[in-house]
A and B are shown apart, each in its own frame.
Chain A
Amino acid sequence: MDTLIRPTITLWHREIVRFYRQRSRIVGALATPVLFWLLLGSGFSDSFRPGGAVGGVGYTEYFYPGTMILVVLFTAIFSTISVIEDRKEGFLQAVLVAPVARSTVVLGKILGGTTLALGQALLLLAAAPFLGLRLGVGDLLLIVAILFIVAFALTTLGFLIAWKMESTQGFHAIMNLVLIPMWLLSGAFFPAAGASAWLRGVMFLNPLTYGVAALRRSLYAGTTTVGPDVPTLALSILVTCTFAVLTFLAARSLASRPLDVGLA
């Protein structure tokens, strides 16, 4: 308890408290995707014809799971930027000389970001009834579980990128070059069905495709809204869990190496 769970909880707790003391982060991480959703949703709704899907799906509806994933991505990313700030401000060095396992340090940070990302996504989930979605308790539990795993994987990915990074500017560059395209090509923004062959190949290999698919399938379970080209729920959950585990193992191994960058 004393050497594993309490340190993890204390580092997790710190992430949450920090987040709520930086109001602009809350607004930015939630409001930006919602704004995208409303603007793009209403802008594209007339021209949108999802390839392969049965008619009657508006873009607002199609884009809904993708928006949730974007909220998760933004929150996860912003929370892992704090890895860089922690090192600059000196907080990290004190954690690294404390008698706690590196996996504790990694887990506390990542669970903090995961919780925040999940919380923000759940705020957006509250909009579901307005889209005419009727979700049972079972559906909700599944959705929360999927959002948790996706949030965990994306936060860990952010952690992996941030750990060795010396400046937050560098992090933003990676985010624009890697993470945003990863989201764009995940089926969040447009379906794979209508895309060219090579783009479909990229989307097939993109792990986030399966996170979006899992969420889409659990949100629209039992409806014809989901196109046939979207991976099945079982496969999506399997790939997403694997992705989360692999990123975590990589993060733990990375953090266990001596860190000699930027320590004062």
Chain B
Amino acid sequence: MALADLSFRVGRGEIFGLLGPNGGGKTTLFRILSTLLAPTAGRAAIGGHDVVREPQAVRRLIGVVFQSPSLDVKLSVRENMVHQGHLYGLHGATLDARIDEMLGRVAMRERADERVETLSGGMRRRIDLAKGLLHRPALVLLDEPTTGLDPGARLDLWDYLTEARKRDGLSVLITTHLMEDAERCDRLLIIDRGRIVALDTPDVLRDSAGGDVIVARTRDPQGLAAAVQERFAQEATVVDGTLRIRRPRGHEFIPLLFEAFPGRIEAVSVGKPTLEDAFIQRTGHRLWDGES
């Protein structure tokens, strides 16, 4: 996916999210920042070092956690960590202590001598994270790190990132297409079809969507959406089989809905817009369009 007109800065100790649909340009950006892909135009720098001209300096500063774990499954957890340490100039007692510390933080120390191929996907992710942070990078790049994690493990990951940020001033750049992750970032860059859609804090982005969101459950969402449009000249969208209506003072609209369409609405709720509403409003389509 080609990128265009993309410009942003990430501050020290910031948790910065790249939110967008799969295929929207997140991974391209991720590869450029992790020195795997040279941009055809424009430039990117980390810690003042250009990713193309000084890749080694950049590589020393960053830790990279890929979408799919980059572990050697034939080796034990510790062996994987030792190799990683050696690649980053760590060795001996320092490295051993660091490995114990990192595995302790992700609660994998007891498993250190087991082969990676015998461990679950969630455990592999945790080890991969420990591996990416082993050399204490200033910035960690995480590509969809919560994919395939159960809710508990996802919370653990966030606890850990928040803690590392507080303790070591770690900066975090995370790509995601999940709202749960996006909500936890300090700032979000919403990217779609290679372009910036929005760049702000989650709070501001949500508020910018404006008004309230009414979500109605019904047997015939398409039909009801058309009916609402016709009757009230009010735009209504169907998302995940539910009807979504965005308008100011949403609670006042609910009685009107029930009176106009008796028996057709099974349940209704009203709330503030979510980040997804903000995304839909700005791009005209849902976040996971085109995703399998």
Contacts and interface: CB of A to CB of B under 8 A. Distances in A.
B252 to A, nearest CB: 49
A190 to B, nearest CB: 39
Given A10-B82, A89-B72, A99-B60, A264 B67 contact: yes
Nearest to A100: B87
A14 B66 contact: no
Interface in A64-114: 86, 89-101
Given A96-B36, A97-B62, A14 B87 contact: no
Contact of B56 (A2, A94, A99, A258): A99
Interface string B40-80: 00000000000000001101101010111111111100010
Most buried by B among A10, A18, A92, A101: A10
B86 A21 contact: no
B34 interface: yes
Interface of B is mostly: loop
Contact of A90 (B71, B82, B86): B71
Interface in A1-25: 2-3, 6-7, 9-11, 13-14, 17-18, 21-22
B91 interface: yes
Contacts of A10: 82-83, 86-87
A263 interface: yes
A89 B131 CA distance: 16
B72 A14 contact: yes
Interface in B86-128: 86-89, 91
B217 interface: no
A22 B115 CA distance: 13
Given A2-B89, A93-B70, A99-B56, A14 B36 contact: no
B35 interface: yes
B4 interface: no
B84 A89 contact: no
A46 interface: no
Contact of A91 (B31, B62, B71, B91): B71
B38 interface: yes
B91 A6 contact: yes
Given A90-B66, A90-B69, A93-B66, A98 B88 contact: yes
Contacts, number: 83
A199 interface: no
B90 to A, nearest CB: 9
A14 B83 contact: yes
Nearest to A99: B59
A259 interface: yes
Contact of B70 (A13, A18, A90): A90
B36 A98 contact: no
A90 B68 contact: yes
Interface in B182-238: none
Contact of B68 (A6, A99, A264): A264
Contacts of A264: 66-68
Contact of B79 (A11, A17, A95): A17
Given A22-B74, A258-B36, A263-B31, A94 B88 contact: no
Contacts of B72: 14, 18, 86, 89, 91
B70 A91 contact: yes
A97 B140 CA distance: 12
B89 A94 contact: no
Contacts of A98: 59, 84, 87-88
Nearest to B124: A90
A99 B84 CA distance: 11
Nearest to B132: A94
A13 B35 CA distance: 26
A151 to B, nearest CB: 22
B111 to A, nearest CB: 18
A190 B82 CA distance: 47
A18 B75 CA distance: 7
B260 interface: no
A7 B87 contact: yes
B147 to A, nearest CB: 11
Contact of B35 (A6, A7, A86, A97): A97
Interface of A: 2-3, 6-7, 9-11, 13-14, 17-18, 21-22, 86, 89-101, 258-260, 263-264
Given A93-B64, A99-B87, 9 more contacts: A6-B86, A10-B82, A10-B87, A17-B75, A90-B66, A93-B66, A94-B84, A260-B36, A264-B66
Going nearest first, the 3 A-B pairs with the smallest beta carbon separation are A94-B70, A10-B86, A99-B59
6 contacts: A6-B89, A17-B75, A94-B84, A96-B36, A97-B35, A98-B59
